[in-house]
Amino acid sequence: MVNTLLEALRDALLWFRPGLGIRKWFLYVIAGVTFLGLGIAVLLIDAYRTTTDNPLVLTALGYLSLRFLPRALRAVIFGGLGIGLLVYGIVRLNRSLLAPFLRPGSKVVDQIRDFRKRERGPRIVAIGGGHGLSTLLRGLKLYTSNLTAVVTVADDGGSSGRLRESFGILPPGDIRNCLAALSNDEDLLTQLFQYRFSGSPDLDGHSFGNLFITALADLTGSFESAVAESGRVLSINGRVLPSTLHNVKLVASMQLPYSHNEIRVEGESKIPKSAGRVHRVWLEPDNAPAFPPVLKELLTAELIIIGPGSLYTSLLPNLLVQDLLSAIRASRATKIYVSNIATQRGETDFFSSYDHVLALEEHVGGDLFDIILCNNNYSGDVGPSSQWVIADEKIKQDERTRLVDLVDEGHPWRHDSAKLAKEVIQIYSEQISA
């Protein structure tokens, strides 16, 4: 019994920890109850004083008010009883109101604490596309809700490409992956959003999320509104924004093997499949303006993270939007480049970390990054068609380089979302304490 009471008292005291935003409102409730109690007390005192002709009533009121006890003790008893009932009532009321939104096995106070902590988290903009960006977002959403993902719209392959061609909308595939990664509940609803149809000639290869975003774009009248509404459906922890609303195409100039000749390859999906080495990529049209909310987020960010992701087909299509690149340079945020774990066939074969950075700077100019984050754990098998992206001597000599273990032990060719997010937050902590 004593242990139960102590546990209940401890749970009650958790509500008054700093950062929950509870104490101020609790004081308002206490003040209101106090004034209400004073009003009732005035009425009782008046009844006690005016009902002097009935000894039974006087006796009853005396016992109810505990007049046989010292006044100080009575104040403690009534005050303690009132506070206890008040706290119990508020806790139970909160549980009843929030029950539909609670995760199984979690406490209301813990979820409120986590929510407030994320609410005060750093303002982060992550730029990229594909599975690399989703991995980063999945880890960062545990630290902050001030999180914006900026996604390329140059994808023209698979389900996204077919929808882009058929309906004239921007490709939803990478945006869908980011929405799923930022969802607060990556269970059934997110699985449904990522579900891919098979068997039907018309639906084969399409994901439910892509079709959902396409339908919403038709209903709302705009692609950006469809993305925002999809985020509300998935209850995402952050925002997902396209880098531009213009229908851009990624074009590459590729050097043929054993030759100085170059060929032009149009389309993000065709570049890794073409023979030769990527020499240069660009967007057509090359003057597509950035999506204005993206510029606002970049200029107010505390951290801007570029990568991980496919060098030529995920990262550069964002950075080649000139307004976006200018906003990155103008921003006072700390700019971090996250180097890939493994090379990508047909795109970055045999590239080191230095080669990745060099290719980026050849396209967008130097001195863009404040920190270059590289993996230094090369244990495991990255598969027959990839190699480790090694942090070579050239990158180690760069004072911006930071080496750390970022490998997902179960899938060595990928970043571990928890390791990567922890390192990013560590960088942020060091920056604000410097």
Average pLDDT of the residues in 162-167: 77
Evaluate if residue 340 carries a pLDDT over 60. yes
What band does 315 get if pLDDT is binned at 50, 70 and 90?
very high
The pLDDT of residue 148 is 95
The pLDDT of residue 71 is 73
The pLDDT of residue 130 is 79
Predicted confidence (pLDDT) per residue in 39-79, tens digit: 877 776 776 666 556 666 666 666 666 667 787 887 788 77
- Full set of structural domains in the chain with CATH: 2-107 (no CATH), 121-152+243-433 (3.40.50.10680)
Evaluate if residue 80 carries a pLDDT over 90. no
The pLDDT of residue 300 is 96
Q: What is the mean pLDDT of the chain?
A: 83
What band does 213 get if pLDDT is binned at 50, 70 and 90?
confident
The pLDDT of residue 431 is 85
- Give the 3-state secondary structure of the chain: CHHHHHHHHHHHHHCCCCCCCCHHHHHHHHHHHHHHHHHHHHHHHHHHHHCCCCHHHHHHHHHHCCCCCCHHHHHHHHHHHHHHHHHHHHHHHHHHHHHHHCCCCCCHHHHHHHHHHHHCCCCEEEEECHHHHHHHHHHHCCCCCCEEEEECCCCCCHHHHHHHHHHCCCCCHHHHHHHHHHECCCCHHHHHHHCECCCCCCCCCCEHHHHHHHHHHHHHCCHHHHHHHHHHHHCECCEEEECCCCCCEEEEEEECCCCCCEEEEECCCCCCCCCCEEEEEEEECCCCCCCHHHHHHHHHCCEEEECCCCHHHHHHHHHCCHHHHHHHHHCCCEEEEECCCECCCCCCCCCCHHHHHHHHHHHHCCCCCCEEEEECCCCCCCCCCCCECCCCHHHHCCCCEEEECCEECCEEEEECHHHHHHHHHHHHHHHHHC
Evaluate if residue 101 carries a pLDDT over 60. no
pTM of the model: 0.77
